[in-house]
Chains A and B, each alone.
Chain A
């Protein structure tokens, strides 16, 4: 049990950060997604918003459990302040897709590293989440492809957003790589190299066409 305590606070922060990102992304998906370029893309954006907000709710509840909270859990009315700053700047379809991609890719990388650590209590909490997130990833990659085939200004705008957003995500992943308590506590697999994985995904995305 003592081993589990190592890195627990850091892991709780990770769970809260993912929850915050999903909470804000859900909000942006409704706000911007509702005026998506196609009926199907709008319907999917709203469905994904429900998914993201549902994930956020589960993760906030889990973070409270991890921090030893007992009793009736409070209603979540705002994020805890750990979300990526770029999500709040999302104000059009292209920035929404870039933010969706960045958040989904980085969260996916972290959750898979957590899954690889094979902590049974944690694995049961995130397996469904990872599965549901795959569809979000497919949607986002599909739209990245569309925007890369669009007019030159749209392509450039997308690239500018991706460059800026992934920088912030990479900083977060680097900080997790550097924090060895997460690995020592059995919360992250030892060989994860999270920032490197994001860089590889981005290279793959750069040739998505």
Chain B
């Protein structure tokens, strides 16, 4: 299969215009680290941002960075770290659970709207993505947004690009709002809570004025109770103060520890990357986004019907669930759970033949699906960009 690696957006424009003319279906990619996600699709060629790399603008005092879409995420993070800044939404690294290699690109962070446990405080990638340049399915170079964080000029196509999985356009450059890296991070760990107690503790913490930047519950496998994590970040004085207040607020939950340093960072990374589930490499992994109060209901619903394991990235509003891959990998049960309790479920990991046979993304209402198809056609009338990656016919 031909792999196009355009050097710039003009190149990309020529390739895509030609593909549109000939009806060549294009797989839209970066370095392919998330290739085993989404609906498997049949394409004739591939267009990759691999040859488009580099930071194009970085103004620390303006809290803004722009990079070509193929720039490795780690490179962006490294450049920001030099100035004590970071991508505030703490993007997940999917390589561990997907078992892939290579450099994840900043373009994919935008295209898949990837975020992490700081979601509750800092939003998802879409909340920090303030500008995008892309080539649409007609081969036209389009820009939306810009480099300033307050901008309501015209329709917000940047939001549409975020999370469209390359089905609307081939991103060539993205601009993110960034934030200072906190001076200190400390995590309160409560041990021995069941799911309902844990969600209660997390809800109390998140409903407090103490600016929680991460909240997670990792149930224990043998049901002796798990670890409930609450993260605070900021200046030293402030973190100390808030940690004391938080302990006082939650004093009825006993068995509390404070975790800091490398161990704590590794723990949050395992929450961010869902690697808490990876020792079960043969199982399917689902990502469920639901209302904060409904998480335990969703998990209980699934556990009743399936041999399921799960944890809550509660700051991300997520329940991560692993299920056996047999049959529909638990799809019918998961969908019933989200129908009953609200939210949506995405099948993040499963063998291609399983993902081919079912809806990877939560099916949408007819009205939303009509809009989705219309939007797709307005960007990519020939349907050549990542066709079917999200929904059949889109």
> Do the two shown chains form a genuine complex with each other?
no
